[in-house]
Chain A
């Protein structure tokens, strides 16, 4: 029998019993809705992390020298963590070594920061901000743009001026009606004159920039720093992606030589790139994407059992029809095919409804929260395939029962 004929009959059956069909599909609908909603969000975060987040956190074509590894990927290695904790603090000597080793750097910066500070202006205050002491090219390395006023300059750095460039959130909170430029804000017991406001970053991790205050490193070192000349990071931005690896190799070698490390010894510093973050994210991502279909399968199994029951009911309701079809020449495989098609069509319709609701839900989450959402075509196909699989599997037994019916008995059935 023709394929389309089977689908046509199945759709007719679904239309004839809308409510029953809907309830029989509930399990599949919920499973697929969940799958699509979660996958859409995860994929959204995925593309966000890959395209925006890593770049905005570390800068494109940028590497950073730090005292120790900050992002662990894979299983935590306690021993290694303890070893790295004994790494020497970065200082201005290291800055000089790195700078000398990377003469082709497009931008070069070093910085120190403190988190969880408060900032005040008049009666307004903002908690949980980060104060960064950055050298003059810090903004350029980070790719931060100034929206209003100006950024830090070499002069600010040389003279250790008490000036600050503030994030957009801080500007909005402290200066809701006036311009922040020229105003003196207080943080950590010191006053800083606002010279610029950073462009709003917004989004999922916008607070990294939007809730930060940037002051010259020399100023920071003289005021807020708890460890004099202590450096948190040294950032190097190179022109091209191709230049990144050689530059990293040169800096690594220069630092090892400066610190007198023997070839067998491990680095007593850490160089991180946006790849560190990406590989950490990829680990989480892989686990999520493997676990979700597993979780969804549970509800699909339940959905499948419901469909199987409904199909069994349908077979017994339509015993006479099956007898009639057989008397008109339907072979066993025709009947088998009819009921398999019906179960599959049913569950594919369920999957389609689930996909629609799931996408709607993801869209809603995107609107109401900073989580991004990205529709992924392969996953839509996975959802449909899972739906089809459930339909076929749950249809096999009822369809087999139907195909085995004796036409005489079936025709006589009341």
Chain B
């Protein structure tokens, strides 16, 4: 793999010919078919594509939740294809901050404890965890909601807790999967503002979405069709919602 080490040291993500095939019975589904992606440090990138285009598969591979059938993936200077489960878990813990469409907060835990979770798996001491989790919650303007449980928070607040959780371990990339899919437009704008501010503070943000007006917040849009990249820098129409996938 040394001959394909990324040329640019500024790339936080480099993939070469990334391929993912699923065998379903006698059929082989080519979910991802030779994808080359380069994302620089501190970029704000949206990944778009119709359903079945492979954007979820790409997100799972970028998020180290899955391993490619073939091809290479270098994350923050480290090749990650072919790592075992525990090494992938470690990378997810240190390098990636996930934000999900459905927030995925532990319902019985307080906001603070939810944000502490990644630090538990990083082996951080309890005192340090609380300090850092509180700091992350303050970054998303929830410093006064730390002891609230998810059902005592609004949708936007829940997603902000999830963002704090994603940020708490200072990951290389913030990886958001349809982060506004369960939110109204007003709250969506609020979350987009949070992403905008984080990006402004130097955070690399990758966001998977199928909504144009959400993708429009990103600096660059990568469009996938049929498991291949159709565009590395989509020209987004200025009028919202004119194009539907």
Specify whether A and B are partners. Answer: yes
What is the bound-complex CA distance between A407 and B65, given in angstroms? 7
For A326, list chain B residues within 8 Å (CB). 65, 89, 92
Q: Which of B98-123 contact A (CB under 8 A)?
A: 98, 100, 104, 106, 108-109, 117-118, 120-123
A332 with B86: CB separation less than 8 A:
yes
| CB of B164, distance to nearest CB on chain A (Å) | 13
> Which of B86, B94, B104, B108 has the largest count of A CB atoms less than 10 A from its CB?
B104
What is the bound-complex CA distance between A395 and B121, given in angstroms? 21
What is the bound-complex CA distance between A334 and B119, given in angstroms? 13
| CB of B35, distance to nearest CB on chain A (Å) | 18
One of A24-32, A87-95, A317-325, A360-368 contacting the partner: A317-325
| CB of B208, distance to nearest CB on chain A (Å) | 13
A117 contacts the other chain (Cβ, under 8 Å)?
no
Given A329-B89, A331-B85, A408 contacting B121 (CB threshold 8 A): no
B65 with A329: CB separation less than 8 A:
no
B85 with A327: CB separation less than 8 A:
no
For B118, list chain A residues within 8 Å (CB). 328-329
Q: Which of B49-70 contact A (CB under 8 A)?
A: 60, 63, 65-66
| CB of A401, distance to nearest CB on chain B (Å) | 15
Size category of the A interface is 20 to 34
Q: Which residues of chain B have a CB within 8 Å of any CB of chain A? A: 60, 63, 65-66, 85-86, 89-90, 92-94, 98, 100, 104, 106, 108-109, 117-118, 120-123, 126, 165, 169
Q: Give the residue of A1, A320, A333 whose beta carbon is less than 8 angstroms from that of B104.
A: A320
Q: Which residues of chain A have a CB within 8 Å of any CB of chain B? A: 1-2, 5, 12, 16, 320-321, 324-334, 407-408, 411
A408 with B60: CB separation less than 8 A:
yes
B89 with A330: CB separation less than 8 A:
yes
For B85, list chain A residues within 8 Å (CB). 331-332
| CB of A59, distance to nearest CB on chain B (Å) | 63
Residue of A nearest to B108 (CB): A16
Q: Give the residue of A5, A16, A331, A408 whose beta carbon is less than 8 angstroms from that of B86.
A: A331
Given A328-B117, A329-B121, A329-B122, A321 contacting B106 (CB threshold 8 A): yes
What is the bound-complex CA distance between A333 and B109, given in angstroms? 22
What is the bound-complex CA distance between A329 and B93, given in angstroms? 4
B104 with A329: CB separation less than 8 A:
no
Q: Give the residue of A1, A328, A334 whose beta carbon is less than 8 angstroms from that of B98.
A: A328
Residue of A nearest to B87 (CB): A331
What is the bound-complex CA distance between A52 and B121, given in angstroms? 59
For A407, list chain B residues within 8 Å (CB). 65
A1 with B108: CB separation less than 8 A:
no
Q: Give the residue of B60, B104, B109, B121 whose beta carbon is less than 8 angstroms from that of A330.
A: B121
For A5, list chain B residues within 8 Å (CB). 120, 126
What is the bound-complex CA distance between A5 and B124, given in angstroms? 12
| CB of A9, distance to nearest CB on chain B (Å) | 9
B108 with A328: CB separation less than 8 A:
no
What is the bound-complex CA distance between A408 and B65, given in angstroms? 6
